[in-house]
Structure 1
Amino acid sequence: MPRPKGYSINSPPSDESEDGEPLIENDEIPPQCCSARLNLAILMFLGFSVVYGLRVNLSVAMVAMVNSTDETPGQNSSKVHACPLPPGTENSTDDFNQPDWVPQYQWGSEVQGLLLGAFFFGYLCTQIPGGYLSGRYGGKIFLGWGVLGTAALTLLTPLAAQWGVYWLLALRVLEGIGEGVTFPAMMAMWARWAPPTERSRLMTLSGSGANFGAFVALPLTGYICQTLGWPAVFYLCGGAGCLWGVFWFIFVSDDPRTHRRISEKERDYIINSVGPQGTGHGWSLPLLSMLLSVPLWAIMITQMCANWSYYTLLTSLPTYMNNVLHFDLKSNGFLSALPYLGAWFVSITSGVVADTLIEKNMLSITSVRKIFTLVGLLPASGFLVAVSFSGCSHILAVTFLTLCTTIGGISASGVYMNQIDIAPRYAGFLLGITNTFGTIPGVVAPIATGYFTADHTLEGWRKVFWVAAVINAIGALFFTIFGSGKIQSWAITEEDRAEADKQRSRSIST
């Protein structure tokens, strides 16, 4: 059934505020194929693929960098194995052969946990400043230099490891500082570039680069470690990030108004669709109103809960595959990556479905965000519990882990993009806030995993999965109760109201 003239594509039924958005007629919507906004999403996708490759490569490389996970050298002969070793390997060590020139280190499980968590200490520091400055000046320079700087630092990883643990810890913290601005910058850019009924698919496409990067980096890291030695991992990943930076700064613009290759039709469509909310915010922010906003707290708490399980698997899954299931390094990398392939595909699909439900007025934005969050997180908790009872069964453990992360990809169209729903103009800053809280599990979870699994028993790993499952479920229920998809009153300025009134009057007159 055709829409009536003057229908707002930005007006999902029950979530549209009276201040409204500019009205766009259906026949004025330019196609996404080969569009500037789709090209931006693809470049962001590649950028976040690199970002997560840089983030997770240490998780797999750690297995090759460490020649023993025992704290005391004299314990090697009596090491406890959670599961029986494969036939023929009972008298072998867990060390992975490296070329003669490649060093290996004596790092215990606690030290490994600190190294894997160090990245997030730096990542916490730049989320809020990055979101604020991206919302004020645009996200191009912050996202571009965030990836480029992290890539350059990654090239120094072998040298830092050779100098000592503290140097490597410091380097990982610096990498986190550089990478911390990337997601807030992405959100700030989409606030200016993404029409409301295309937000889910554009943002899930760009953000799915994180899962795709993990999927590619984990097995590739294992292969490179066994063939070229672990230092080559950091040289190749760092080089890829530097190459991406060249394309980013050539082809990307902060705003459709300043893009040199965008068509006039697409530019007008985007500007009119996002309306006055698609402009940068001023120096002052409604901080008190944000602090008292229940929907914002719902995002923060839910992301903290969901990220606990995500970061637990992201940083510790290769160790579980090695120490418990005893996969060789190449199989370890591939099987650790398999869950992220499913999450990548599901997150993109969920974005298309979510936009369709909103555009066709089948569900409100609030309902879509809540349903996709609940369906993505609650079953994932169940599969984490199932992993804890899978014991030494390789098939069951890998199946449940894959299903857990795959289904979790549905939440990409839920809570993880909700900031742009409740306050588009401040979306980058809000994502900086929510990601800061959401990154705390990235610091704590690897350390907790190292503590629980210090004795290398199945009981220790069972605690890891149970804790992650319970926290994940709490987040899903909290957002279902307190989340919202409506633009908050504190996010609408008097200028916005005046502009909306003008647009509404213009629509009535035509």
Structure 2
Amino acid sequence: METREDPLPPNTTPSPSSESITRPSCLPQRYLVLLMILLMTINLYANRAITGETIDFFADVKHTIKITTTNQCSEQHQIHDETKNFTKIFQIEKITHEEIQALFFITYMITHVPGGIYSDTRGPKHLLSFLTATCSLINFIMPSLLKATKGNHNVMRVVALVMGAAQGIFFPATSNMIAHWAPVRERASLMSIAVAGLFLGITVTKSGTRLIVKSSGDWTTPFYVFGGVGVFLTLIWEVYVFSDPHQDPRITPEEKEYLDLEMRGTVDHRRKSIPYVAILTSPQVWIMVFAHMANRWLWNFIALKIPVYIKDVLKYSDYQANEISSLPYLLMTVTLVSVGFLSDWITRNGYINILTMRKYFTSLGMMGPPIYILTGSYANCNGIGAITMFVCGMSFMAFSFLGLYLLPMDLAPNYAGFLTTFTNGFGNISGFFLKRITAAVAPDKTILQYRKLFWITLLIATVANTMFVIFGSSRLQPWNRPLIKRK
């Protein structure tokens, strides 16, 4: 039998923390949890991208070149080919490699659903350990697999699908974890710590991976380094991190009492059923999903197409385009964390309400990037001018994580994992249309054709942001009251 309870008690289940290990702590346990999520995020982003970042060192990648003379820029200074001294074990077409990488997102989207459901009903701790260990194991065996099969494309496809299935669990599980450790008055600041791992992970992937290869002289080294780090983080996670404060034997009584008081009436740590019908029929959920789909289009466009623009239009080398496109992420990290703490301070002191802050940061994150990137296209072949605009535009993406990405925890922290299934999972559907629309609008990859894509992106962002600003809400939803399972 299931009953809906209201108001919510902080917790009514037996608690391991009732016999907590009392100790002075200079770092509150909730910050330890978020720092561990940050480190695991860095590791998982590196693990998913190692093959893509190192493939030039162990494979002869054949590029299909289409030459057009319309609106083309002159060739930039080409740097020394750093991969030519490495033995290539197989050949692969660039387009085939891209298609294999795209398979990652098919299973990535699918496993969002069971990941969100399991996290909300049974807890995310062991789920996060499992996926981190799985990704690490994949990278441990990947070099031997590539050598043994000589880069068999079907084997690479299977690996991409398995990696996507494992990592699809991550964001729903971490959303649930953050919801159970981050009170409303600290939600933006604690979320910013976790999300910083995303930007640092991209930076480590783009710069660190190749640096490790060049320093060691062996393309297999990053696979073992990041695989080993993943195993180490899994062990630390299992020992020191727990799904919620009531399961943590190391939390101090003072911190536990503080979190209980702050979360009373909003977060219930007991096992519960998910109110599927209420969620699926909630207008606020679908407004949030629509906004996320536009934001994921924007994110995928910037992450995938801006480096291509720098390479194909502005005529920088692959290496230069890779390094340039990684420039904003450190700035985004600093901006995200500092503004996250500022946002909590502003709302905590009542200067601006939470909904206004969420809409303000969402608007900055949605409208800033396409405006700056479109402006950069009018710099034409002025590489410094265009890249400056691109870096500024990409940096604005950080603000979305202090607005739109906090909504699952604002609307229903008890079901933040399942809501993230919709926002991050279904939101990535827009990415599947990106390649087709790009091929249709910019077949020759000229400045004018790309400019049309930038206008389309600005239009998508404007429509979605306007809808969210007018109709969106951060108010706690009635169906957040949990359905508690009783025998």
Q: Tell me the TM-score normalized by structure 2.
A: 0.85
- Compute the RMSD of aligned alpha carbons: 3.0
Alignment partner of 2:426 out of 411, 429, 437: 437
1:143 maps to: 128
Q: CA 1:191–1:324 in structure 2 vs 1: closer, same or farther (change >3 Å)?
A: same
Q: Tell me the alpha carbon deviations over residues 283-335 of structure 1, each in whole angstroms, 9 at most, x when there is no partner.
A: 64222221221211121111111111212232344444433334445533321
Cα distance in 1 for partners of 2:69, 2:46 equals 32
Query: Is the Cα–Cα contact under 8 Å of residues 59 and 316 in structure 1 kept in the other structure?
Result: no
Quick one: which amino acid aligns to residue 220 of structure 1?
Answer: G
2:37 maps to: 44
Work out whether 1:134 is the aligned partner of 2:127. Answer: no
2:250 maps to: 261
Quick one: which amino acid aligns to residue 183 of structure 2?
Answer: P
**SS of equivalent to 1:484:** coil
Q: CA 1:494–1:99 in structure 2 vs 1: closer, same or farther (change >3 Å)?
A: closer
Give the CA deviation at 1:399. Answer: 1.3
**SS of equivalent to 2:423:** helix
Work out whether 1:122 is the aligned partner of 2:107. Answer: yes
Cα distance in 1 for partners of 2:225, 2:127 equals 23
Cα distance in 2 for partners of 1:357, 1:60 equals 41
Matches within 5 A, 1:293-308: 293-308=282-297
**SS of equivalent to 2:61:** strand
Q: CA 1:80–1:253 in structure 2 vs 1: closer, same or farther (change >3 Å)?
A: farther
Q: How many residues align?
A: 460
1:499 maps to: none
2:237 maps to: 248
**SS of equivalent to 1:262:** coil
Q: Tell me the alpha carbon deviations over residues 57-78 of structure 1, each in whole angstroms, 9 at most, x when there is no partner.
A: 455445654533117xxx8xx6
Cα distance in 2 for partners of 1:412, 1:305 equals 14
Cα distance in 1 for partners of 2:435, 2:157 equals 14
Matches within 5 A, 1:373-392: 373-392=362-381
Cα distance in 1 for partners of 2:442, 2:312 equals 10
Give the CA deviation at 1:262. Answer: 1.3
Quick one: which amino acid aligns to residue 171 of structure 1?
Answer: V
Quick one: which amino acid aligns to residue 129 of structure 1?
Answer: P
2:194 maps to: 206
Q: Tell me the alpha carbon deviations over residues 21-79 of structure 1, each in whole angstroms, 9 at most, x when there is no partner.
A: 98xxxxxxxx99511001111111111111222334455445654533117xxx8xx68
2:84 maps to: 98
Cα distance in 1 for partners of 2:345, 2:428 equals 31
**SS of equivalent to 1:102:** coil
1:333 maps to: 322
**SS of equivalent to 1:163:** coil
1:345 maps to: 334
Q: CA 1:221–1:475 in structure 2 vs 1: closer, same or farther (change >3 Å)?
A: farther
Cα distance in 1 for partners of 2:209, 2:54 equals 7
1:107 maps to: 93
**SS of equivalent to 2:351:** coil
More moved, 61-70 vs 436-445: 61-70
Q: CA 1:451–1:171 in structure 2 vs 1: closer, same or farther (change >3 Å)?
A: farther
User: Structure 2: where are the runs of 5+ without partners?
Assistant: 1-5, 11-23
User: Structure 1: where are the runs of 5+ without partners?
Assistant: 1-17, 23-30, 496-510
Work out whether 1:219 is the aligned partner of 2:207. Answer: yes
1:501 maps to: none
Quick one: which amino acid aligns to residue 133 of structure 1?
Answer: Y
Cα distance in 2 for partners of 1:221, 1:458 equals 31
Q: CA 1:97–1:186 in structure 2 vs 1: closer, same or farther (change >3 Å)?
A: closer
Give the CA deviation at 1:446. Answer: 4.7
Give the CA deviation at 1:237. Answer: 3.0
Work out whether 1:197 is the aligned partner of 2:197. Answer: no
Work out whether 1:401 is the aligned partner of 2:401. Answer: no
Query: Is the Cα–Cα contact under 8 Å of residues 291 and 464 in structure 2 kept in the other structure?
Result: yes
**SS of equivalent to 1:418:** helix
Cα distance in 1 for partners of 2:364, 2:397 equals 8
Give the CA deviation at 1:480. Answer: 0.9
Q: Percent of pairs identical after alignment?
A: 25
Q: Tell me the TM-score normalized by structure 1.
A: 0.81
Query: Is the Cα–Cα contact under 8 Å of residues 47 and 147 in structure 1 kept in the other structure?
Result: yes
Cα distance in 2 for partners of 1:116, 1:165 equals 11
